[in-house]
Amino acid sequence: MDGSELIRFDRVTKRFGDNTVLDDLDFSVSSGKHVTLIGPSGSGKTTILRLLMTLIKPDQGKIQVDGECLTHENRGGKLVEASEKHTREVRKKIGMVFQQFNLFPNMRVLRNITEAPVHVLGLSKDEAEERARELLDLVGLGNKCDAYPTQLSGGQQQRVAIARALAMRPQVMLLDEVTSALDPELVAGVLDVLRDIAHTTDITMLCVTHEMNFARDISDEVLMFDSGRVIEAGPPEKIFTEPEHERTREFLSAVL
Ligand code: ADP
């Protein structure tokens, strides 16, 4: 947790057709910090995570992860378009948990978690399994190693997905409304696990969430989005109790 800048968006613009979804956006996340993106639906929050995952490319601006640019690389002193290899290396620094858990249905829980560490990181099967068991304990599912995803509740599947992302030892976790596909009674268990991870590990987190109490509990900084711009940013005590912007007040009164 050295406080260095891990993620940086520098004047990033993203358009879909003539819809400008992110408009000249600047923000950064320091190593070890937990930053939460809030704001109305359609304000561009998920687009930020998808840009970081290189699922889409910015139209303008620069995105850096741990000092490496996502779209360009330095080759022999020249800045050239990033190769697939470069992009893959940068992406290894990032873990993502989606709304839908996307577990491999034909694999038992343990193998869901060990598959990428073995094939992508080159860990031995034994090392990967030892780490997977530790992570399953961390998410409260130490007794589910041999289950298939369909034998688990949605909340349990999401906790496996969290363990699977952590197994790649990412420097930053992106969390995209990870409880929004869950039945209401399963939400708390998943948020408790994430709170625990936020408070007991030094992993950097960038979360999109509608769970304002969760955001308040784990965030070092909250960014309020509206129409592709950050209209207000600050520590949760400030944003949730004394928001400055009228739009933030309106949004919070609608969701709190
Ligand atoms: P949020 O996460 O804040 O709800 P999003 O980042 O998902 O917002 O979406 C922002 C805007 O971008 C929305 O208007 C959405 O319709 C549009 N959008 C997102 N992805 C695409 C896409 N692949 N093609 C066209 N429009 C898109």
Taking only the tens place, the pLDDT of each residue in 101-112 is: 899 999 999 999
Residue nearest to atom 20 of ligand 1 (CA): 47
CA of 45 to the centre of ligand 1 (A): 8
CA of 56 to the centre of ligand 1 (A): 11
- What was the pLDDT predicted at 234? 97
ipTM value, please give it. 0.97
pLDDT, tens only, 193-237 = 999 999 999 999 999 999 999 999 999 999 999 999 999 999 999
Domain that holds residue 120: 100-169
- Tell me, yes or no, whether 154 lies in a domain: yes
Q: pLDDT band at 53, cuts 50/70/90?
A: very high
> Cα(225)–Cα(27) distance, rounded to whole angstroms?
12
Q: Is 41 in the pocket of ligand 1 (CB under 6 A)?
A: yes
Q: Which atom of ligand 1 lies closest to the CA of 43?
A: 3
* The amino acid at 70: L
- Tell me, yes or no, whether 116 lies in a domain: yes
Residue nearest to atom 1 of ligand 1 (CA): 42
Q: Pick from 9, 12, 16 the residue to mutate for probing ligand 1's pocket: most ligand atoms within 8 Å of its CB.
A: 16
pLDDT, tens only, 170-180 = 999 999 999 99
Q: pLDDT band at 20, cuts 50/70/90?
A: very high
- Beta strands at 78-81 and 60-65: parallel, antiparallel or unpaired: unpaired
Q: Enter the DSSP assignment of 65.
A: E
* The amino acid at 146: D
Instruction: Examine the pLDDT at 2 and tell me if it is beyond 80.
Output: no
- 72: CB partners within 8 A, 6+ apart: 62, 79, 80, 81, 82
Q: Are 108 and 186 in contact (CB under 8 A)?
A: no
Instruction: Examine the pLDDT at 168 and tell me if it is beyond 90.
Output: yes
- Tell me, yes or no, whether 181 lies in a domain: no
Q: Is 209 in the pocket of ligand 1 (CB under 6 A)?
A: no
- Tell me, yes or no, whether 146 lies in a domain: yes
- Tell me, yes or no, whether 26 lies in a domain: no
- What was the pLDDT predicted at 74? 86
Assign 146 to helix, strand or coil: coil
Rounded to 10 degrees, what is the CA torsion of 189, 192, 197, 200?
-140
> Cα(35)–Cα(223) distance, rounded to whole angstroms?
7
User: To the nearest whole number, what is the mean pLDDT of the chain?
Assistant: 95
> Cα(6)–Cα(251) distance, rounded to whole angstroms?
29
> Cα(167)–Cα(114) distance, rounded to whole angstroms?
7
Residue nearest to atom 11 of ligand 1 (CA): 42
Segment 130-136 mean pLDDT: 97
CA of 223 to the centre of ligand 1 (A): 18
Q: Which atom of ligand 1 lies closest to the CA of 40?
A: 3
- Tell me, yes or no, whether 50 lies in a domain: no
- More reliable by pLDDT, 125 or 71: 125
- Tell me, yes or no, whether 114 lies in a domain: yes
- Tell me, yes or no, whether 39 lies in a domain: no
Q: Pick from 9, 14, 19 the residue to mutate for probing ligand 1's pocket: most ligand atoms within 8 Å of its CB.
A: 19
Regarding pTM above 0.90, the answer is yes
> Cα(76)–Cα(170) distance, rounded to whole angstroms?
28
- What was the pLDDT predicted at 167? 97
- What was the pLDDT predicted at 79? 87
> How many folded domains does the chain comprise?
1
Largest CA distance in the chain: 55
